[in-house]
Amino acid sequence: MNPKPKLIRITTVPISMNIILRGQLGFMNQYFEVIGVTGYDFKHYNEIKERENIRMCEIEMVRNISVFKDLKALWRLYWFFKKEKPDIVHTHTPKAGLLGMIASKIAGVPHRLHTVGGIPQIEFSGWRKNVLDITEKVTYRLAHKVYPNSLGLKQIILEMKYCPDSKLKVLANGSSNGVNIDFFKPNFTINNIDEYKSICRKKYNLDENDIVFLYVGRIAKDKGINELIDAFEKLIREQSNTIKLILIGPFEKDHGILDNKTKRMLEENQSIKVLGRFDDVRPFYLISDVFVFPTYREGFPNVVLEAQSMGLPCIVTNINGCNEIIKNGYNGLIVSVKSSEDLYTAMRKLAFDKEYRLGLSSKSRKNILDNYRREIVWNALLDEYNTFIGNKG
């Protein structure tokens, strides 16, 4: 019996691998000998190893530029590849992509692949943008194939001239991992779902008649939080008693400082509930009426996929990824980037027009079932791997 081909998947830090590739590594392990390579932290590293049942190798990589640490990681990756002799090296996240592609090229790995989940330097300027542009170009040049996780991201890569069109491919309908429809489903609890929803609403001091908007993600300027709070403040001037906003996620200062007005609203307004980070956000999707995601830039947002899978209509900005999942007026609404006025208009429409809101909601989960189930993405990637190594399955 021939041994299974060897596949190495790499991310810079373990939390990325744990979130981005959840379930996918175990699926691929049926067909390949899968090895995960990333940095170490006790929680995420061991979760991946146990859940996916794969071999793991700890190689420290840092997101920021650090000549000594980067060279050390590059050296360790090179010798690891020489020892393991993988058939495929597939990288995710910028630093893992750069170091992984350089090391695998030098080590003579026959198939080098890289997935792009976003291009943060779009919002940058000056020397920092120039450095990041160079690292992207080097990564893409050394890869045999580059997989943007959305059609819009592919177009941006072409416009920035990072690599030729012939090297780029969007798998299936986009997304790096799809969504687990059995986990993110409206009736996810074994309890009476209406009773559970009522209990959850009471827990967070929400009345049954409240219209609840939900945001999940980093609490940061580049996620459109200033615009969201501005739009929400205008909305509750009209109907302050029954409209609420829940924010789930960590505060991050590295991606832009929030306005003082926004900070004050987050601290003082009783209609806004800032609840921090949760491992399981399904109860919040359940108790909400509308998901709102006014980000400035994105790859292919998992939270929008999750919200849709839970049956929520979504308000998103007109950026790549978001405007591929959401069809305006069909399963959600699309607004201009950085426009609190557009956001207010969309939120007002869904807050006060229940029939329209429920109409969008009725199409949300179907969109996921038809296009973004994780099995669709996994099988598209498996087909791609088999094309490279000649497996007929």
Write the secondary structure of the chain as one string of H (helix), E (strand) and C (coil): CCCCCEEEEECCCHHHHHHHCCCHHHHHCCCCEEEEEECCCHHHHHHHHHHHCCEEEECCCCCCCCHHHHHHHHHHHHHHHHHHCCCEEEEECHHHHHHHHHHHHHCCCCEEEEEECCCHHHHCCHHHHHHHHHHHHHHHHHCCEEEECCHHHHHHHHHCCCCCHHHECCCCCCCCCCECCCCCCCCCCCCCHHHHHHHHHHHCCCCCCCEEEEEECCECHHHCHHHHHHHHHHHHHHCCCCEEEEEECCECCCCCCCCHHHHHHHHHCCCEEEEECCCCCHHHHHHCCEEEECCCCCCCCHHHHHHHHCCCCEEEECCCCHHHHCCECCCEEEECCCCHHHHHHHHHHHHHCHHHHHHHHHHHHHHHHHHCEHHHHHHHHHHHHHHHHCCCC
pLDDT at residue 361, as a whole number: 97
Residue 40 has pLDDT above 70, yes or no: yes
Lowest-pLDDT choice from 6-10, 101-105, 265-269, 379-383: 265-269
Identical fold for domains 6-178+374-389 and 193-371, yes or no, is yes
pLDDT at 254: 59
Question: What is the arithmetic mean of pLDDT over 247-276?
Answer: 88
pLDDT for position 3: 87
pLDDT of residue 392: 44
pLDDT at 393 exceeding the cut of 50: no
Domain spanning 193-371, CATH class = alpha beta
Residue 190 pLDDT greater than 90, yes or no? no
Going by pLDDT thresholds of 50, 70 and 90, the confidence category of residue 165 is: very high
User: Looking at residue 117, what is its pLDDT?
Assistant: 92
Q: Global pTM?
A: 0.91
% the chain with pLDDT above 70 = 97
What is the average pLDDT across 274-283? 94
Higher pLDDT, 127 or 222: 222
In this predicted structure, the answer to whether residue 8 has a pLDDT above a threshold of 90 is yes
Judge whether residue 143 has pLDDT over 70.
Answer: yes
Residue 257's pLDDT is 80
Domain 6-178+374-389 has CATH 3.40.50.2000: yes
Q: Where are the domains of the chain?
A: 6-178+374-389, 193-371
Query: Using 50, 70 and 90 to split pLDDT, how confident is the model at 202?
Result: very high
- Of 59-63, 74-78, 337-341, the least confident: 59-63
Residue 122, pLDDT above cutoff 60 = yes
